[in-house]
Copies of this chain bind each other. A is one copy, B any other.
Amino acid sequence: MDNPHLWLRLDLANGHHIGPGKIALLEAIRAKGSITAAARHLGMSYRRAWLMVENMNDALREPAVTSAQGGAYGGGTVLTDVGEQIIQIYHSVEGLTLTSAHQELRAIARLGRDRS
């Protein structure tokens, strides 16, 4: 059997949420250096990726993503320290859950009917 997986959505104190979609987008922006390239990498429209970034930045005290002005390629997009923190904390919570609830996650996974 595969190891258990889980899907976490974490709440900000103001009622906004950070889930796996936003984490994947932050990681793609970090890897690809622009919202355009990140959106293409994830198979989503630029507009949808841009709205997710705007929504996330509006919900935070400090933005997670910002313009890389003056870069060698005339701009692009980079993560801020807050953006890096969000990714790191999210994966910490995942790891802590997988470790602390390992038995429970395996127990629920085993209730599933086998693929046939």
Copies in the complex: 2
Instruction: Give the CA-CA distance A106 to B114 in the complex, in Å.
Output: 38
Chain B, residue nearest A111 (CB): B60
Q: A16 an interface residue at 8 Å Cβ cutoff?
A: yes
Instruction: Give the CA-CA distance A20 to B80 in the complex, in Å.
Output: 32
Q: Is A108 in contact with B96, judged by CB distance below 8 angstroms?
A: no
Q: Is A7 in contact with B5, judged by CB distance below 8 angstroms?
A: no
A 6-17 to B, binary, CB cutoff 8 A, 1 in contact else 0: 111111111111
Q: Is B7 in contact with A9, judged by CB distance below 8 angstroms?
A: yes
Q: Is B109 in contact with A12, judged by CB distance below 8 angstroms?
A: yes
Chain A, interface SS category: mixed
Chain B, residue nearest A97 (CB): B97
Chain B, residue nearest A15 (CB): B115
Q: Is B86 in contact with A93, judged by CB distance below 8 angstroms?
A: no
| 6 A-B pairs with the lowest CB-CB distances in the bound complex, closest first | A12-B112, A7-B9, A100-B100, A96-B101, A14-B112, A96-B100
Contacts A15-B115, A100-B100 given: A108-B10 contact, CB under 8 Å?
A: yes
Segment 50-92 of A: residues with Cβ below 8 Å from B: 58-62, 82, 85-86, 89-90, 92
